[in-house]
Amino acid sequence: MGRPDDLLLREIGALAHLFSGNYAQALRMFESMCDRCREYEGESHCRQFVLRAKEGLAMARGVVGIGETEHEFRLVIDLEKCHLGEEHPDIYTTYHRFAMVLATRGRVEDAQRWYSQAAKGRKERLGPDHPLTRHSERMVVEVADTVSSAALGTGVAGKVGE
């Protein structure tokens, strides 16, 4: 199996654990992915996997509640902009995932701002009908409903996320 395939499988497994609530295993898998990426450091075709491993680790740490989540995500965003370009679609996925972490931590107004940036960027780069654009736009509305309900003191059932 080639290097990108190996890293892709690790990323898929880690995300599956993260979104199924198995946070400890997701964290271990993203850490493993980061370790594996170090073996390929400097190889241009693996650069995007290195960035995704760092993003995944920041996301897992954020959901678990350890580390400096905002600082870690901002570093990943800066690295993505440097290596992929200012308007690369992956940057908006990082915005979306950072918003998800903020929402799970109860920072819904901050989450709404990041979801909005993801939706705007995805709309400009991927088009208004792209599934990722629509998903980010739905999350903007869902978080807005959460903020409105909290202001009214009614609460909202369910969780805000990806």
Shared-domain flag, residues 4 and 30: yes
Sequence-ordered list of residues with C-beta below 8 angstroms from that of 15, at least 6 positions apart, any chain:
26, 56
* Residue 114: both structure tokens together: 């990041």
Domain count of the fold of the chain: 2
Of 101, 76, 103, 104, nearest to 91 (Cα)?
76
Q: Output the pLDDT for position 58.
A: 76
Structural domain that includes position 55: 1-76
Domain stops at, among 76, 103, 130: 76
Portion of the chain with pLDDT greater than 90, in percent? 20
User: pLDDT by residue (tens digit) across 79-122?
Assistant: 788 778 888 888 898 899 889 888 888 888 899 999 999 999 99
Q: Check pLDDT > 50 for residue 156.
A: no
Residue 132 lies in a domain: yes
Which of the residue ranges 7-11, 32-36, 87-91 has the most confident prediction, judged by mean pLDDT? 87-91
Place of tokens 């701002």: 113
Instruction: Enumerate long-range contacts of 15-18, CB under 8 Å, 24 or more apart.
Output: 15/56, 18/56, 18/59, 18/60, 18/63
User: Per the confidence metrics, is the pTM higher than 0.85?
Assistant: no
Q: Check pLDDT > 90 for residue 132.
A: yes
Q: What is the 3-state secondary structure (H, E, C) of 59-77?
A: HHHHHHCCCCHHHHHHHHH
Rg (the chain; Cα; Å): 16
